[in-house]
Structure 1
Amino acid sequence: MTRPAEISWFSALCDDDYEFMGVSDPALQSSLPHCRDIVLKAEQGGFDNVLLPSGYALGIDSIAFAGAVAPLVKRMQLLVAVRCGEMWPPQLARQLATLDGMLQGRLTVNIISSDLPGEALASAPRYRRTLEVMEILRTLLAGRPLVLRGEFYDLELAPPRVAQPHREPPPFYFGGLSDDARDVAARAADVFLMWPDRIGNIRAVLDDMRRRATACGRTLRFGYRVHVIVRETEAEARAAARRLMSKLDDVTGEEIRRKSLDASSFGVRRQAEMRDEADDEGFVEDNLWTGIGRARSGCGAAIVGDPDQVLKKIGAYRALGLDAFIFSGYPHARECDLFARHVLPRIDHAPLFSRGA
């Protein structure tokens, strides 16, 4: 029996909201009121979780924002992205423990293996540092004392008082396609996240990740981050996709993609490859449209179609073993409402992790 999927939305903290891709709209720039309204729209629509993304140069801070909206969210979880290379891990643990208490155990954490701003560390040592950060966070968030004599951190610390030793620490969502990233995920993640790709490529990655996790004596759950454009008919959905891109020029798109500090990562390169593999309308396989990646550096494709087609695509992903989905659309509040009305009621869904108060 297929277990319920976790269905999440996305709040545009990183200045990533548009009526027309590449055309800045002051009303859609990241701010507490705008991003808060997206979160509340997602809770009202029945989503299980919402991703609060993080970018050093872009938008507003995910942890500060999560603290502002935590008292407003009554049921839904928050998936808070943290760029772990930018922060002192014991202080980050205290911040996350504080948020977890405010949310009564409804915190989930998206770990990003980032550089320090202005620093460029090679992939292998950067991911080794990420692994140490994850160990520090998991230990301290579990309310356990930490003794770590690592390559990057030499620490002996008591846990922060606000940690909750009576419950499991917040689960870690983590993604990356390089060998270094996959190794970290197999050893320390709870949910391995993927960006859009062809069905066959997804299957190959999941098979590889299951082997790696088994070799570490662990099991993983799997998630998928993708945009969505759903309308009552496929023709209307495709027309909405064309309208979204109708004012974008290639120079502006390239400028937007290069703003990200992660613009040269393995995963970003794969999104670019898919655009090269797509047909003249930007579709790389049935209902998977890559045009949206012309104006963003990360997740670069969308499921486009009528409700039945969108559900069929999600079902194909679930059959592979994906059970945590993070959807988004432009503009985010409007597309959140459309997905909540046309698709979400037809999916068996619930949070992946229920940790209690």
Structure 2
Amino acid sequence: MTAHRRQMKLGAFLWATGHHIAAWRHPKAHVTAGVDIEHYIQLARTAEAAKFDMIFCEDAAGVREADINIASQTSRSIGFEPISLLSALAVQTSRIGLVCTASTSYNEPYGLARTFLSLDLLSSGRAGWNLVTSASHIEAANFGSTGLRPHAHRYERAREFAAVVAALWRGKLDGVSGPGHDGRSFSVRDPLDLPRSPQGAPVMVQAGASDEGRDLAARTADVVFTAAQTFEEARAFYDDLMGRLATYGREPDDIKIMPGVAP
């Protein structure tokens, strides 16, 4: 019997001028990288040539600091909306996965499912959604909110949101005889006006470190990002997450955990 061959999965987290908050001040830095499509095309093609499995773009729907005059704090807020960016990169690459963040607090399931499935079809089955619930008061203020939803409420909404999106992607939501989904936070009648993904459905990614975040990952995620600072912390996270899978009828091979490394 041939042993199962395991391979390391590699993802490149693309942040316009780098992950250090002051990287934009380096003499060789490309200060306007966040709005330079040629810069991103070069990065995506380089990662693809290096056999990376994915590129990842995070997002926040607001300027990151309240004082917009502090340039060193706001430099990382300057950049393309990520789904638009990945759609452009889809036609400049052929194999690498295209993953970005979208919030369950400031989107609706039908629109998000349709957008990511469109990206998936444009890229021949290479799209992934990093689900976040958004914990910033700054973001909340940009969507007519009177304040940030409590943590537990955000995750209650996220669980229903993820379930509706998954049903839409897999063609299991059909409202011909009535509402396809009629839940506490969302009501969706129709299936999507798109065919199924070449890969079955876009990849679901999660990065929540809280108890609710880990539980949502065990329930829904194909890939989990984590940023443990020690081996012991990483092992504890791995064991905890794997221990939750059986509750949702899942196996350890159903999920890939990708720890962050800053070389």
Give the TM-score range, shorter chain.
0.7 to 0.9
Residue pairs, 1:141-152, within 5 angstroms: 141-145=169-173, 147-152=180-185
AA partner of residue 6 (structure 1): K
RMSD across aligned C-alpha pairs, in angstroms? 2.4
Deviations 1:115-164 (A, max 9, x none): 56324111111011111111121111123325223221122222x22231
Choose the corresponding residue for 1:194, options 212, 218, 226. 226
Is 1:163 aligned to 2:195, yes or no?
yes
Counterpart of 1:177? 209
**Partner residue in 1 for 2:261:** 227
Cα displacement (A) at 1:44: 2.4
Whether contact under 8 Å (1:18, 1:28) holds in the other structure is: no
Q: Secondary structure at the match of 1:162?
A: coil
Take 1:19 and 1:53, find their aligned partners in 2: how far apart are those partners?
A: 15
1:23 counterpart residue number: 25
1:11 aligns with 2:14: yes
What CA distance in whole angstroms lies between the structure 2 residues aligned with 1:55 and 1:122?
18
1:212 to 2:217 alignment: no
> How far apart, in 1, do the equivalents of 2:124 and 2:97 lie?
10
Question: Which residue identity is paired with 2:6?
Answer: R
Partner of 2:168: 140
CA 11–36 in structure 1, closer or farther in 2 if over 3 Å, else same = farther
Q: For 1:196 and 1:28, locate their aligned partners in 2 and report how far apart those are by CA, in whole Å.
A: 31
Q: Does residue 1:33 correspond to 2:38, yes or no? A: yes
Unaligned runs of 5+ in 2: 63-76, 142-146, 175-179
Deviations 1:293-343 (CA, angstroms, capped at 9, x unpaired): xxxxxxxxxxxxxxxxxxxxxxxxxxxxxxxxxxxxxxxxxxxxxxxxxxx
Q: Please tell me whether the aligned partners of residues 142 and 167 of structure 1 are also in contact (alpha carbons under 8 angstroms).
A: no
Matched, 1:51 2:56: yes
Given that 2:173 and 2:181 are in contact with CA atoms closer than 8 Å, whether structure 1 keeps it comes out as no
1:274 — aligned with what? none
Q: Residue 130 in 1 paired to residue 150 in 2? A: no
* Mapping for residues 108-127 of structure 1, pairs under 5 Å: 108-114=128-134, 117-118=140-141, 119-127=147-155
Matched residue, 2:99: 79
> What secondary structure is seen at the aligned counterpart in 1 of 2:34?
coil
Q: CA offsets, 1:183-235, max 9 Å, x none?
A: 21121212222113211111112111112111222234232342332xxxxxx
Matches within 5 A, 1:295-310: none
Structure 1: runs of 5+ lacking an equivalent = 230-357
Q: CA deviation at 1:17?
A: 5.6
Greater RCO (CA < 8 Å, at least 6 residues apart): 1
Is the Cα–Cα contact under 8 Å of residues 130 and 206 in structure 2 kept in the other structure?
yes
Q: Secondary structure at the match of 1:157?
A: coil
After TM superposition, list the pairs within 5 Å mapping 1:238-253 onto structure 2. Answer: none
AA of the residue aligned to 2:189: E
CA distance in 1, matches of 2:126, 2:41: 17
Identity of aligned residues (%): 22
Aligned length: 227
Distance change >3 Å, CA 138–CA 113, structure 1 → 2: same
Equivalent position SS for 1:94: helix
Change (3 A) 1:80 1:22: closer
Task: Judge which range, 168-177 or 138-147, deviates more.
Answer: 138-147
TM-score with structure 2 setting the length: 0.77
Over 3 Å counting, the alpha-carbon distance change for 1:201 and 1:225 in structure 2 is closer
User: 2:72 maps to what in 1?
Assistant: none
Alpha-carbon separation, structure 2, partners of 1:102 and 1:137: 18
